[in-house]
Amino acid sequence: MSKFKFSVGPWNVHAGADSYGPATRQEIDFDTKLAKFAELGFSAIQFHDDDAVPNINAYTEEEIKEKAAALKKKLDKYNLAAEFVAPRLWMDDHTIDGGFMSTSEKDREYAMWRAYRSIDIAKELGCDMIVLWLAREGTLCAESKSPVWATKQLIAAINKMLEYDPKIRVCIEPKPNEPIDRSICGTIGHVMAVSAATIDPSRVGGNLESAHAILAGLDPAHEIGFALAMGKLMTVHLNDQNGIRYDQDKTFGVENLRAAFNQVKVLKENGYGDHGEYVGLDVKAMRTTRDEDSYKHLENSLSIFKYLEEKADKFDYEFQKKCVANRDFEALEMYVMKLLMGVE
Ligand code: XUL
Ligand code: MN
């Protein structure tokens, strides 16, 4: 029995289209996904604002709240919580050059409108967190905007969100690049610095995604550990990634089992989840996956996480202590390898 609770977003089951080719599977409707997520054992759903309220631009603030309240009833039916709402600031015509740090003042105002609506939706769904994945916040042309100005815009935008709602928590999901060339706030360390510069650092933290850390050339478990040490790991997006290339969102653990083990271990050792935090799985199926296997990557990620949790439960801390005292890291490393290979 896992000690953790798991969460997932509707985008984690998708039809397989990529930048180079069309969909390879049927779209699955939202209600069918919800039922299946509940059946697979997920406890909470993560939302973009327009996952919760599709076609959000067409509605008034009151209508948006009403639609979110109707969604809450649907979630209740499946006994699912909402974990967070994330303004999707990368699809709309107003966000071509970014959101909070767009060079257009009108577009920056639009981005704030989406952030405020995300907060309204979160409240209706009974959650207190919004996630900012800063997809287009940065530059495609380095000279197009100052990184100093852009960083200050981000801090000012977060301050406005904190002022808009005294209870809301703002969780930044850092990523060093893609779709932007050079991002602002690319790692969990940047997130901690931005948090410290806001009017209420206790309400600003991070969402560490394994693949994003790897894209920055960093180790996900160490990034998780850094945020935990600061008391600011609000959620995680676990997945895997084959080195520094396009963002892959692979099934958790399939590329680097030892790195995955250490992510589970650091979460477990430090009481992650004790304050209601979820283990989010931000994984995507391969394009080649057939319709009948549309949820396999989620099932596999859950299984791999739970198997690794069992390995972490078994971890022999006495032996580790002895190895450290003798400075025998060869023995410690081999012990971990044997533990993972099941040949202890
Ligand atoms: C993008 C990414 C997104 C966010 C949600 O790389 O990870 O799925 O997690 O907007
Ligand atoms: Mn993510």
- Terminal CA-to-CA distance of the chain, rounded, Å? 22
Percent of the chain with pLDDT over 70: 100
In one letter, which amino acid is 40?
A: L
The pLDDT of residue 205: 98
Q: Above 80 in pLDDT, residue 226? A: yes
User: How much is the pLDDT for 233?
Assistant: 98
Segment 156-165 mean pLDDT:
98
Instruction: Give the confidence band of 199 by pLDDT, cuts at 50, 70, 90.
Output: very high
> For ligand 1, is residue 107 a contact (CB within 6 Å)?
no
Q: Give the pLDDT score at 22.
A: 98
Percent above pLDDT 90 for the chain: 99
Q: Is 133 in the pocket of ligand 1 (CB under 6 A)?
A: yes
Strand 182-183 and strand 44-48: the pairing is unpaired
Decide if pLDDT at 176 tops 90: yes
Task: Express each pLDDT in 274-308 by its tens digit.
Answer: 999 999 999 999 999 999 999 999 999 999 999 99
Atom of ligand 1 nearest to the CA of 86: 10
51 counts as catalytic: yes
Query: Helix/strand/coil (H, E, C) string of the chain?
Result: CCCCCEEECHHHCCCCCECCECCCCCCCCHHHHHHHHHHHCCCEEEEEHHHHCCCHHHCCHHHHHHHHHHHHHHHHHCCCEEEEEECCCCCCHHHCCCCCCCCCHHHHHHHHHHHHHHHHHHHHHCCCEEEEECCCCEECCHHHCCHHHHHHHHHHHHHHHHHHCCCCEEEEECCCCCCCCEECCCCHHHHHHHHHCCCCHHHEEEEEEHHHHHHCCCCHHHHHHHHHHCCCEEEEEECECCCCCCCCCECCCCCCHHHHHHHHHHHHHCCCCCCCCCEEECCCCCCCCCHHHCCHHHHHHHHHHHHHHHHHHHCCHHHHHHHHHCCCHHHHHHHHHHHHHCCC
Nearest C-alpha neighbor of 202 from the set 167, 164, 153, 173: 167
Q: Model-level pTM greater than 0.95?
A: yes
Q: What is the mean pLDDT of residues 69-83?
A: 98
Q: How far apart are CA 230 and CA 198, in angstroms?
A: 15
For the chain, what is the mean pLDDT? 98
> In the prediction, which pLDDT does 1 show?
87
| Ligand with an atom nearest the CA of residue 135 | 1
The answer to whether the beta carbons of residues 268 and 309 sit under 8 Å apart is: yes
Burial of 31 (0-12, 13-18, 19+ CB in 10 A): exposed
Which whole number is the average pLDDT over 167-178? 98
The answer to whether residue 175 scores a pLDDT higher than 80 is: yes
**Cα of 76 to ligand 2 centre, how many Å?**
24
- The whole-number average pLDDT for the span 248-271 is 98
User: Out of 49, 50, 51, 282, which one is annotated catalytic?
Assistant: 51
